[in-house]
Amino acid sequence: MVSYKAPLNDIRFVLYELLDYETTIAALPGYEEATRDVVDAVLDEAARFCETELLPLNGPGDAEGCTFEDGTVRTPLGFKEAYRHFIKAGWTGLACDTQYGGQGLPNVLQFVLEELIWSTNLSFGIYPGLSHAGSHALALHGSEDQKRLFLPRIVDGTWSATMCLTEPQCGTDLGLVRTRAEPKGGSTYKITGTKIFISAGEHDLTENIVHMVLARLPGAPSGTRGLSLFIVPKFLVKPDGTLGTHNRVSCSSIEQKMGIKASSTCTLNFEGAEGYLVGKPNTGMHCMFTMMNTARLAIGLQGLGLAETAYQSAVAYARERLQGRSLSGSKFPDKAADPIIVHPDVRKNLLTARAYNQGARALALWVGMAMDVAVKHPDPARGIEAEDLVALMTPIIKAFVTDYGFEATNLGLQVFGGYGYIRDSGMEQLVRDARIAQIYEGTNGLQALDLVGRKLPQDSGRLLRRFFHPVSQFIDENTGDAELQPFVLPLAKAFARLQQATLWVAQESLKDGQEAGAAACDYLRMFALVALAYMWARTAKVAVGKLAAEKESFYRAKLATANFYMTRVLPQTSGLFAAITAGARSIMDVHEEWF
């Protein structure tokens, strides 16, 4: 069994001290009631629910997995009861609009809730996680009738939602979608085709499942320009909102997977199923991107959640496991051996995970607050700036945080040694579960291409300025502070390298598009490392000013972790810069037959 306690002290530090939640978010129109007292109560109850109800189901759910028989999927023992408790507590509607039964709380609290869920039971969290993304897309793009019929029941959790994109012949390249939509009259269509790898496509947790399906209308343009989005419910819905007959959609199988075994991953067959057009014809990708980007940010938090549990479990084990003696002399001479936390390599593994986790948490919640500013700020210009930042950082959070999440779970397993490789420890499950986050909802390579190919050049670098300008301003304002120089100067050097790399990628890509593709993944990681350095430098500034406070040890631990990040993690940017500017030839000049 893994060790986990919701890191509320760090979450509260980020919200209140680092990011100034009360001034930045609670002061926005519509969030006046989301006071610190309310937020603290939400955090405490979310932590209690995840620690006591979800965590105990994680290992048993992985061992049992989902079962499939005669088209029916059953989730593991305990999941249905936990889900009933989950929706009764209102967690499905935490950040949803009050007009559809949601609580209307800030999006940044949804980020916190998701981290806690992913930390304790990733498989369980996928079911309501997809529903949240689906409700967001429907709220923005659905008709008033569609929102009236579907949103209240998705928001309250009695119905769930899915995202149906992938087909046997198309994953990343959705332009190859073959699923057909034939008009029946009005906004009703017959949907025919097969979708694969559909998370939560069939299960026993909700009364109905609302599938959000990409399909192609007759005569539609080729490629992604010809895709439309449709609502296809498992059970047809009557005008009064009650359920009718079973729609012509069925599950033909579930996948036997490496991880997330308690999350059903389904093949769905649509055989003339009744569906309803969302938005206008041939705008399906635009509508679906709303759902996809919500999901991508949530998946980034999956990496953080699993890495946090791996870190906490590894720390607990390292304090107890006795092996060898400290290289500087025995630290516990009364014991048969010293605990392994005295050894430099073990400490480096733990500190690496800690530095990534706390830096990524700060970055993610900064972006979560930007989402709230984008939708609530009374100044449209401020809203656009915040929206730009969210767009820029979405591929970075999705890709980098899941990449390092897998790395951190492996570091945690390494601390456990052979015991980590054994199922009883729970560590090997974290590694298996973490691996999918680098793949689904757009592989991390695709996220990197999105960053360099779309986000960087957009409007002559407008999105890029939303990050570069505040970082540059912070460096200028704090370089002269002697206490902050150990944190600001490394940030300044890495930021200068990132600016150089950005210019290099932009210039070379104009000459040869292969250059952007060859540099993309290294560039995204370099950008992310600098973004975390910015968060750590800001953290250090807060901590330095609090060293005389009651929680002095908390702030000294922050400074120590910040120092480790700047001296042991951030130097990766030098190697990444060299790899980026090496160009594409060493990759693309290799003949295919040489592989």
H-helix or E-strand containing 272?
A: strand 265-278
Cα 84 vs. chain centroid, distance in angstroms?
Answer: 24
Measure CA of the first residue to CA of the last residue in the chain; give whole Å. Answer: 42
At residue 511's C-alpha, the angle toward residues 508 and 512, to 5°, is: 85
* Contact assessment for residue 387 and residue 288, using Cβ atoms and an 8 Å cutoff: no
Using CB atoms within 10 Å of the CB of residue 173, give its burial: 0 to 12 exposed, 13 to 18 middle, 19+ buried.
exposed
537 three-state secondary structure: helix
What distance in Å separates the CA atoms of residue 524 and residue 456, rounded to the nearest whole number?
11
Name the β-bridge partners of 215.
Answer: 228
| Catalytic one of 441, 508, 550, 552 | 441
| Residue 68 DSSP label | E
What pLDDT sits at residue 260?
Answer: 98
Which residues, at least 6 apart from 236, have a Cβ–Cβ distance to it below 8 Å? 243, 244, 245, 246, 247, 274
Q: Is the pTM of this model over 0.95?
A: yes
- The rounded radius of gyration (Å) of the Cα atoms in the chain is 24
SS (H, E, C) 189-206: EEEEEEEEEEECCCCCCC
At residue 405's C-alpha, the angle toward residues 403 and 408, to 5°, is: 115
Of the candidates 243, 263, 265, the one whose C-alpha atom is nearest the C-alpha of residue 254 is: 265
Tens of pLDDT, residue by residue, the chain (595 residues): 799 999 999 999 999 999 999 999 999 999 999 999 999 999 999 999 999 999 999 999 999 999 999 999 999 999 999 999 999 999 999 999 999 999 999 999 999 999 999 999 999 999 999 999 999 999 999 999 999 999 999 999 999 999 999 999 998 899 999 999 999 988 899 999 999 999 999 999 999 999 999 999 999 999 999 999 999 999 999 999 999 999 999 999 999 999 999 999 999 999 999 999 999 999 999 999 888 999 999 999 999 999 999 999 999 999 999 999 999 999 999 999 999 999 999 999 999 999 999 999 999 999 999 999 999 999 999 999 999 999 999 999 999 999 999 999 999 999 999 999 999 999 999 999 999 999 999 999 999 999 999 999 999 999 999 999 999 999 999 999 999 999 999 999 999 999 999 999 999 999 998 999 999 999 999 999 999 999 999 999 999 999 876 778 999 999 999 999 999 999 999 999 999 999 999 999 999 999 9
Neighbours of 4 (CB within 10 A): 24
* Contact assessment for residue 84 and residue 151, using Cβ atoms and an 8 Å cutoff: no
Query: 441 an active-site residue?
Result: yes
Q: In 11-99, which ranges are E strands?
A: 67-69, 72-74
CATH class of 8-66+75-145: mainly alpha
What distance in Å separates the CA atoms of residue 231 and residue 249, rounded to the nearest whole number?
12
* Contact assessment for residue 310 and residue 408, using Cβ atoms and an 8 Å cutoff: yes
What pLDDT sits at residue 548?
Answer: 75
Neighbours of 175 (CB within 10 A): 15
Name the β-bridge partners of 265.
Answer: 199
H-helix or E-strand containing 276?
A: strand 265-278
What distance in Å separates the CA atoms of residue 113 and residue 129, rounded to the nearest whole number?
10
Token pair of 205 as six digits: 């947790």
* Contact assessment for residue 186 and residue 275, using Cβ atoms and an 8 Å cutoff: no
Token pair of 193 as six digits: 């085709």
What distance in Å separates the CA atoms of residue 200 and residue 202, rounded to the nearest whole number?
5
Architecture per CATH, domain 160-285, reads as Beta Barrel (2.40)
* Contact assessment for residue 420 and residue 349, using Cβ atoms and an 8 Å cutoff: no
Which residues, at least 6 apart from 19, have a Cβ–Cβ distance to it below 8 Å? 362, 365, 366, 369
Of the candidates 302, 304, 411, 407, the one whose C-alpha atom is nearest the C-alpha of residue 362 is: 304
